[in-house]
């Protein structure tokens, strides 16, 4: 199936990688750089995509050293390769880490300077060189959003870039590239997608069209993520998760995110932890904070409706919020994800520094209420000590 949008083209469904050569030919690209990690390189996934590039009469090289939470150094290495090879398009094969690296390289190649200069909102002037994203996880939605994240180890922080010039030109969500995702990665990336969808509903920029996408994604994720986790060969569950993470991406690319992502970026940047796991742990604690404001009641009703919580219409206040967070905690538990930050083996956390970093994160400004630093500290403390 093919879906066209203002950004580019997205291919969905098993075997949809076969649609790529024709699309590349139409665009006339000739020299590509595949950006991937060593696991996907060794598994042959990168070469499978390479064969499609050859069918399109495009030559290619492979950079296979992308790591989770890609750093400035990885972006610079990749940029050097892209410049040296004089490529005219990039092909990310992977999840958010590969796609975000490609976005960063694309922007700096076309706009010059250093990647650090693009932290924030719409800092580039020119559209980056074309990106193909062959998605191998069901979580980040990076193939459909204007967001990318690069870790700056010198500052122990993640830089969040929101830039309409970084959008992917061709997205491929073919489950043949997702079937071998191990259960742990399925769980973490799936809960990242759930966090995108819930934060989209709770964001202060939420509008009916983002609610519609986000609520559909919440329902699909709660139905299909446990199945994909329990049985990685369940094609229907993989397929539905691919649609759900994409739809959650469309929602949050327009509504923005919120306090969960701001706090998860600070935590992941300081301790190099998996993004989806940070979100999964923090999500119910931040929901409790946001749900303490009476103005959020209608938004929590939408979350409860999408989660399929019985009698949500009759619930009010704390009961409503508790029903939602209970559901999320039970879901995380069924996916063997930790309930507290302490379980991540972080040792004692520097709550003050984490809160300062989270307050500066671009995602924080879309949280319905801007918290005080002391409130962010308190949420970290609760999440560490598992107090709800």
Residues lying near Fe ion in the complex (CB under 5 A):
192
Q: Residue number with the shortest CB distance to Fe ion?
A: 192
CB of 363 to Fe ion, least distance (A): 9
Residue 150 bridge partners (DSSP): 159
Which residue number, 32 or 258, has a Cβ lying nearer to Fe ion?
Answer: 258
**Bridge-based pairing state of the strands 157-162 and 120-121:** parallel
Residue 59 bridge partners (DSSP): 31
Q: Are 108 and 125 in contact (CB under 8 A)?
A: no
CB of 279 to Fe ion, least distance (A): 6
Which residue number, 24 or 178, has a Cβ lying nearer to Fe ion?
Answer: 178
Which residue number, 192 or 239, has a Cβ lying nearer to Fe ion?
Answer: 192
Residue 60 bridge partners (DSSP): 32
Q: Are 213 and 251 in contact (CB under 8 A)?
A: yes
Which residue number, 37 or 192, has a Cβ lying nearer to Fe ion?
Answer: 192
CB of 196 to Fe ion, least distance (A): 6
Measure the CA–CA gap between 16 and 57, rounded to whole angstroms. Answer: 19
Which residue number, 95 or 371, has a Cβ lying nearer to Fe ion?
Answer: 95
Check residue 57 and report its DSSP letter.
T
Q: Which two tokens stand for residue 121?
A: 């909102």
CB of 97 to Fe ion, least distance (A): 12
Residue 161: C-alpha distances to residues 116, 149, 151, 265, 311 (Å): 9, 6, 11, 12, 40
Which residue number, 174 or 192, has a Cβ lying nearer to Fe ion?
Answer: 192
CB of 56 to Fe ion, least distance (A): 31
Which residue number, 17 or 178, has a Cβ lying nearer to Fe ion?
Answer: 178
CB of 118 to Fe ion, least distance (A): 19
CB of 140 to Fe ion, least distance (A): 6
Which residue number, 130 or 274, has a Cβ lying nearer to Fe ion?
Answer: 274
CB of 261 to Fe ion, least distance (A): 6
């Amino acid at each position: 199936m093919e879906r066209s949008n203002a950004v580019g083209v997205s291919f969905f469904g098993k075997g949809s990688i076969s649609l790529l050569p024709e699309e590349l030919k139409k665009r006339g690209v000739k020299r590509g750089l595949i950006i991937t990690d060593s696991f996907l390189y060794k598994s042959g996934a990168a070469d499978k995509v390479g064969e499609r590039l050859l069918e399109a009469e495009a030559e290619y090289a492979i950079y296979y050293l992308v790591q989770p939470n890609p750093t400035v150094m990885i972006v610079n290495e990749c940029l050097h390769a892209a410049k040296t090879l004089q490529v005219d398009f990039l092909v990310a094969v992977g999840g958010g880490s590969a796609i975000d690296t490609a976005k960063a390289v694309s922007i700096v190649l076309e706009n010059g300077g250093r990647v650090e200069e693009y932290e924030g909102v719409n800092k580039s002037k020119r559209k980056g060189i074309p990106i193909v994203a062959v998605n191998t996880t069901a979580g980040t939605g990076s193939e459909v959003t204007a967001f990318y994240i690069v870790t700056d180890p010198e500052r122990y922080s993640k830089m969040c870039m929101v830039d309409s010039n970084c959008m992917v030109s061709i997205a491929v969500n073919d489950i043949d590239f997702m079937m071998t995702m191990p259960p742990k990665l399925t769980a973490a990336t799936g809960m990242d997608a759930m966090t995108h969808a819930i934060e989209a509903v709770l964001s202060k920029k939420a509008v009916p069209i983002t609610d519609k996408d986000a609520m559909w994604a919440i329902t699909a994720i709660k139905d299909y993520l446990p199945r994909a986790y329990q049985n990685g060969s369940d094609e229907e569950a993989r397929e539905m998760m691919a649609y759900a993470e994409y739809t959650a991406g469309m929602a949050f690319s327009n509504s923005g995110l919120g306090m969960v992502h701001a706090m998860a970026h600070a935590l992941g940047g300081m301790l190099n932890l998996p993004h989806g796991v940070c979100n999964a742990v923090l999500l119910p604690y931040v929901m409790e904070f946001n749900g303490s404001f009476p103005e959020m009641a209608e938004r929590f009703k939408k979350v409860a409706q999408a989660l399929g919580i019985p009698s949500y219409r009759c619930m009010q206040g704390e009961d409503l919020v508790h029903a939602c967070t209970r559901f999320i905690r039970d879901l995380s538990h069924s996916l063997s994800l930790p309930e507290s930050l302490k379980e991540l083996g972080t040792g004692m956390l520097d709550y003050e520094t984490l809160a300062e970093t989270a307050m500066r994160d671009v995602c924080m400004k879309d949280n319905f209420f801007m918290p005080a630093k002391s409130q962010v500290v308190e949420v970290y403390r609760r999440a560490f000590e598992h107090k709800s």
